[in-house]
Amino acid sequence: PDESTDVLRLENVTKRFGNVTAVDDLSFAVHEQEILGFIGPNGAGKSTTFNCVSGSFPPTEGTIYYRDEDVTGMPQYELVKKGISRTYQTFRPLNDRTVLENIELSQVPDKLFSVSDLRADTTERAWELCERVGLEEYAHLTPEEVPHAGMLRLEIGRALGTDPDLLLVDEPFAGLTSEEIEESASLFRSLREEGTTLVVIDHNMHGLLDLVDRVVVISFGEKIAEGAPQEIRDDPVVQKAYLGG
């Protein structure tokens, strides 16, 4: 493949926590305007990989390229400015703000801003995003008043507030009904049509295979398979990893 079309490239990325190797010599690329599924059993190292890419902490070893620039170890706010945004598996909203304010505040790098200081166009944009992720009816409620499916969409709305080129989504389907999964999946497809590149984590491969263009599978921090969804579904190595082999 032509490397110039890679949005993101990990080369031999390893992340250790003491004696635990959470990500082990992992290399893969994310292509322009694709939805890449990033799957593996619980504890495989998926969220840790996102944490390295999004600047929560640097990898212990290896290199991360964003559009051919070495961004290894760059802080999160720099990466957000470059166009990388992510959602968290454990929600991190501001609990004393409304849903709308949470989305609005995600647009400014300095979260210490008071709401009244913000320009009107950030409010307009927050409303657009609220509608985009289907949260209009919850706009004036606080996060605690929002049901689980809405909280997952709030995470996405907050990530979209930074206008990402590359959106990393950590377990967006956890605990959702199949109808709710389809709603989120169609949002991801429409973002892709508008030019966003997405990486979507799921620990359960079947929910994801209908959505994604390509799949990378990891187990115990290592890549064990990569390919088209149909190849992955039938791959005995993947099936073995999921059976606890």
Binding site for ligand ADP (CB under 6 A): 17, 20, 22, 40, 42-48
CB of 193 to ligand ADP, least distance (A): 28
Q: Which is nearer to ligand ADP, 17 or 77 (CB)?
A: 17
Q: Least distance to Mg ion from the beta carbon of 39, Å?
A: 11
Q: How far is the CB of 118 from ligand ADP (least distance, A)?
A: 33
20 vs 115 by CB, closer to ligand ADP: 20
Selected range binding Mg ion among 18-26, 81-89, 173-181, 212-220, rule: CB under 5 A: 81-89
CB of 201: closest distance to Mg ion in angstroms? Answer: 6
Minimum CB distance to ligand ADP smaller for 4 or for 19: 19
What does the chain look like in DSSP terms, one character per residue? --GGGEEEEEEEEEEEETTEEEEEEEEEEEETT-EEEEE-STTSSHHHHHHHHHTSS--SEEEEEETTEE-TT--HHHHHHHTEEE--SS----TTS-HHHHHHHTTSS-TTS-GGGS-HHHHHHHHHHHHHTT-GGGTTS-GGGS-HHHHHHHHHHHHHTT--SEEEEESTTTT--HHHHHHHHHHHHHHHHTT-EEEEEESSHHHHTTT-SEEEEEETTEEEEEE-HHHHHT-HHHHHHHTT-
Q: How far is the CB of 72 from Mg ion (least distance, A)?
A: 21
Q: Which does 160 bind (CB under 5 to 8 A by kind): Mg ion, ligand ADP, none?
A: none
Window 113-152: residues binding Mg ion (CB under 5 A): none
Nearest approach, Cβ of 106 to ligand ADP (angstroms)? 22
Instruction: Please identify which residue in 23, 30, 38, 47 interacts with Mg ion, judged by CB under 5 A.
Output: 47
* 45 binding partner (options ligand ADP, Mg ion, none; Cβ < 5 to 8 Å by kind): ligand ADP
Q: Which residues have C-beta within 8 Å of that of residue 90, sequence separation ≥ 6? A: none
Smallest distance, ligand ADP to C-beta of residue 107, A? 27
**Binding segment toward Mg ion, per CB under 5 A, in 69-77, 86-94, 103-111, 146-154:** 86-94
Strands 214-219 and 35-39: parallel
Contacts of residue 39, Cβ cutoff 8 Å, sequence gap at least 6: 46, 201, 202, 203, 204, 205, 208, 215, 216, 217, 218, 232
Provide the residue type at 240 as one letter. K
Which is nearer to ligand ADP, 49 or 122 (by Cβ)?
Answer: 49
Q: Which does 59 bind (CB under 5 to 8 A by kind): ligand ADP, Mg ion, none?
A: none
219 binds Mg ion (CB under 5 A): no
Q: Which residues bind Mg ion (CB under 5 A)?
A: 46-47, 89
